[in-house]
Structure 1
Amino acid sequence: METALIIGASGGIGRALSELLQARGVEVTRLSRSVDGFDLTDPDGVARISNTLADPFDLIIVASGALEINGAEPEKSMRAVSARAMMDQFALNAIGPALVLKQAHRLLPRDRKAAFVVLSARVGSIEDNRLGGWVSYRASKAAVNQIVHTAAIELARTHKQAACVVMHPGTVKTAFTKKYLGRHPAVEPEEVAENLLAVIAGLSPTDTGGFFDWAGKRVPW
């Protein structure tokens, strides 16, 4: 792994991934909304900035995402669903990664091993949903899982050595999760980065289209 593109590099996980990769000698290109204006909810901006990336990357990770957008907290029941809040969740957590995946055929090499990883969440698993709630966030993550799985099928036709997957990073101690940790155990972003990169290093083309957790175990759809 020689080159990497980290989208959402200013966030807790994205920053930790970028720093760890650089410490390992990887040439890292960082993109984020706060630093570079790379806003996943802006299709024109995503296309414009993506077109400035010339050389293919051995690893691409989309680490952007949000649990709260514009002050809208995760719903406790269906009665709290708001069309605006749900559209915001889909724009960032599902459509945004899809816009980057549109460029994957150009941004990934065809002649060597490569990986395209989108950070999702276990709560996006329909089979594993036993508690309900968090309707918009769950739905947006289930949607991005389907998007990545579909993109993986297409990429496999031209990028024979690539693995395109979604990953659940675990519960991470970041500003993103602070209000919702409760009694759930959480780990530091640096540990999450170590875990994710260990799994990514072991990915093969036979894993493409899969949904994995931070320990490399498959997550049910």
Structure 2
Amino acid sequence: MYQNIAVIGASGAIGRAFVNLLSSSYPSATLYAFSRNDTINRDKTALRNVLYHEINYQDESSIENAAKKTIETGPLDLIIVTTGILHDGELMPEKSLHDLSAQNFRLLFEANTILPALLIKHFSPLLNLNRPAVFALLSARVGSITDNKLGGWYAYRASKAALNMIIKNSAIEIRRKHKESVIIGLHPGTVDSPLSLPFQRHVPEGKLFTADFSAQSLLKVINHIAPTQSGQCFAWDGQRIEA
């Protein structure tokens, strides 16, 4: 089904799970795994159809060069972006207006909105024009304005809401040239990973997923998305998330 695949953010929990899943599910495909460090290279001997490359997310020229590396084997049928940040060191989601910080807003928007936008800029022109192609980016349910019932988490919610608008805009533009293209946001659920670790005690029983389960669920969503659904955001169970 997919001949050329790119996974960006391949060293994170969900990124690694996607690389392993896609490598085994499509053994004849060429899979490009991009990461800002070389920790993923530990899997090189096991995943022989995967080409590993480093990428500097803070350098647009590095993003552009990363995209160019995929041209060697033809256009891309599937692009998955699993990058993102919720907390880091002293950076934690805000509980109230008192906690707001311009620095935190900048960091989260750079990681969760600006970076994905630049990845779309440089990787979307490489989507296969001769067959259906999918560009999927991890978003989050908390980026939904309609679904927001609890408040808090100002910068993270806002950065993901902005990402969802980037995805919608991109879908409209890309569809003008490629009617069968799909660009969507994906909510992976709460995954047992360093990103969710400080908040896992609040997760209902049965709702803390392994990265493998999340990747498998999201791949099912990707494989059943129609071009008419491009620009939307979907949860791991296939349910559409309202803006």
Which range, TM-score by smaller chain? over 0.9
* 1:69–1:89 Cα contact (<8 Å) kept: no
2:199 pairs, out of 132, 156, 180, with 180
Q: Is the deviation greater in 72-81 or in 38-47?
A: 38-47
Letter in 1 for 2:102: A
* 1:40–1:97 Cα contact (<8 Å) kept: no
Task: State the SS of the aligned residue for 1:40.
Answer: coil
Structure 2: segments with no counterpart, 5+ residues:
39-52
Partner of 1:162: 181
Give the CA deviation at 1:69. Answer: 3.5
1:119 pairs, out of 128, 138, 148, with 138
2:63 pairs, out of 39, 46, 56, with 46
Give the CA deviation at 1:49. Answer: 2.3
Alpha-carbon distance in structure 2 between the residues aligned to 1:105 and 1:96: 14
Q: Does 1:27 align with 2:49?
A: no
Alpha-carbon distance in structure 1 between the residues aligned to 2:188 and 2:80: 12
Q: Does 1:203 align with 2:225?
A: yes
Alpha-carbon distance in structure 1 between the residues aligned to 2:230 and 2:115: 20
Letter in 2 for 1:58: D
Give the CA deviation at 1:176. Answer: 1.1
Give the CA deviation at 1:70. Answer: 5.1
Give the CA deviation at 1:182. Answer: 1.4
Partner of 2:240: 218
* 1:116–1:165 Cα contact (<8 Å) kept: yes
* 2:86–2:156 Cα contact (<8 Å) kept: yes
Q: Is the deviation greater in 122-131 or in 45-54?
A: 45-54
* 1:40–1:99 Cα contact (<8 Å) kept: no
* 1:60–1:117 Cα contact (<8 Å) kept: yes
Alpha-carbon distance in structure 1 between the residues aligned to 2:193 and 2:77: 27
Aligned 1:141-160 pairs, distance under 5 A: 141-160=160-179
Partner of 1:4: 5
Partner of 2:214: 192
- TM-score, L = length of structure 1: 0.96
Q: Does 1:69 align with 2:91?
A: no
Give the CA deviation at 1:43. Answer: 2.1
Letter in 1 for 2:69: T
Alpha-carbon distance in structure 1 between the residues aligned to 2:124 and 2:179: 11
Cα distance 1:52–1:2, how it changes in 2: closer, same or farther (>3 A)?
closer
Aligned length: 221
Q: Is the deviation greater in 51-60 or in 79-88?
A: 51-60
Alpha-carbon distance in structure 2 between the residues aligned to 1:200 and 1:162: 12
Deviations, residues 149-182 of structure 1 (Å, cap 9, x unaligned): 1000000011111111001011100111111111
Quote the sequence identity (%).
39
Alpha-carbon distance in structure 1 between the residues aligned to 2:161 and 2:59: 21
Q: Larger C-alpha radius of gyration, 1 or 2?
A: 2
Runs of 4+ that moved beyond 6 A: none
Cα distance 1:178–1:70, how it changes in 2: closer, same or farther (>3 A)?
closer
Task: State the SS of the aligned residue for 1:212.
Answer: strand
Cα distance 1:160–1:104, how it changes in 2: closer, same or farther (>3 A)?
farther
Task: State the SS of the aligned residue for 1:156.
Answer: helix
Alpha-carbon distance in structure 2 between the residues aligned to 1:58 and 1:37: 21
1:97 pairs, out of 100, 108, 116, with 116
Deviations, residues 14-40 of structure 1 (Å, cap 9, x unaligned): 000110010112321100112244233
Alpha-carbon distance in structure 2 between the residues aligned to 1:41 and 1:50: 15
* 2:32–2:70 Cα contact (<8 Å) kept: no
Deviations, residues 122-164 of structure 1 (Å, cap 9, x unaligned): 0000111111111011110001000011000000011111111
- TM-score, L = length of structure 2: 0.87
Task: State the SS of the aligned residue for 2:186.
Answer: strand
